[in-house]
């Protein structure tokens, strides 16, 4: 229900941007459109797959309970989440660049820049999806731990774990599960780039506003 409401609000916001927004914010609204479209895609995917996340002991389990339960769709869903943070970072850095300029005028976002933004977002989505599919996927040696950790979950899939589950287990047979661990670190580093941009931009915005 919440995702359905969010999707409707995003569609309404898109309508208002295209019909009611002033020309003065025409450049910034290009970023808003990208952000809102991403939000709509995320809401649709959430409604379709209805994800479940389980954190227990040293394990992370992700599976879908909706119309589509293929783990590759779940991996793409995680990629869209990462992409949302990157779009938010672009919003922050745009506002910081505008405020830091001497005239405080909007910076032109040309079609070429939009193309580069879409390319960067697509790369982020693809990298996250591939890392999830290749490294954060079900393995047969996880099964004993899975049986123990999911015994009380009513909607847990009882079959086809290989095609439905994304899972990370911190250690297997007493040893660090290194390849998935490195993959998760790589994904966290991607998110860290977005968070670092947001923090730097926020500091720049606050400093400029205080100077004014």
pLDDT 10s digits, 128-166: 999 999 999 888 888 888 888 888 877 777 766 677 888
pTM for the full predicted model: 0.81
How far apart are the C-alpha atoms of 124 and 79, rounded to whole Å?
Answer: 7
How far apart are the C-alpha atoms of 80 and 128, rounded to whole Å?
Answer: 9
The pLDDT confidence band at residue 99, using thresholds 50, 70 and 90, is confident
Q: Where are the domains of the chain?
A: 53-211
pLDDT digits (tens, 9 = 90+) for 30-66: 888 888 888 889 989 999 999 998 888 888 889 888 8
How far apart are the C-alpha atoms of 31 and 76, rounded to whole Å?
Answer: 22
How far apart are the C-alpha atoms of 114 and 118, rounded to whole Å?
Answer: 6
């Amino acid at each position: 229900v919440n995702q359905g409401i969010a999707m409707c609000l995003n569609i309404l916001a898109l309508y208002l941007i295209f019909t009611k927004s002033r020309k003065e914010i025409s450049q910034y609204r290009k970023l808003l459109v990208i952000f809102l479209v991403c939000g709509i895609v995320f809401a649709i995917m959430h409604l379709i797959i209805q994800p479940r996340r389980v954190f227990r002991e040293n394990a992370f389990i992700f599976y879908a309970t909706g119309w589509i339960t293929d783990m590759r769709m779940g991996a793409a869903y995680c990629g869209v989440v990462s992409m949302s943070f990157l779009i938010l970072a672009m919003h922050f850095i745009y506002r910081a660049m505008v405020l830091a300029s001497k005239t405080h005028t909007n910076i032109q976002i040309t079609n070429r820049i939009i193309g580069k933004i879409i390319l960067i977002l697509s790369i982020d989505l693809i990298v996250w999806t591939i890392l999830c599919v290749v490294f954060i996927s079900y393995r047969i040696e996880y099964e004993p731990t899975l049986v123990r950790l999911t015994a009380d979950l009513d909607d847990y899939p009882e079959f086809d774990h290989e095609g439905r589950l994304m899972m990370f287990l911190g250690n297997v047979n007493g040893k660090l599960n290194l390849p998935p661990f490195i993959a998760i670190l790589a994904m966290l580093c991607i998110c860290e780039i977005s968070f670092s941009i947001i923090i730097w931009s926020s500091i720049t915005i606050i400093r400029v506003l205080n100077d004014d």
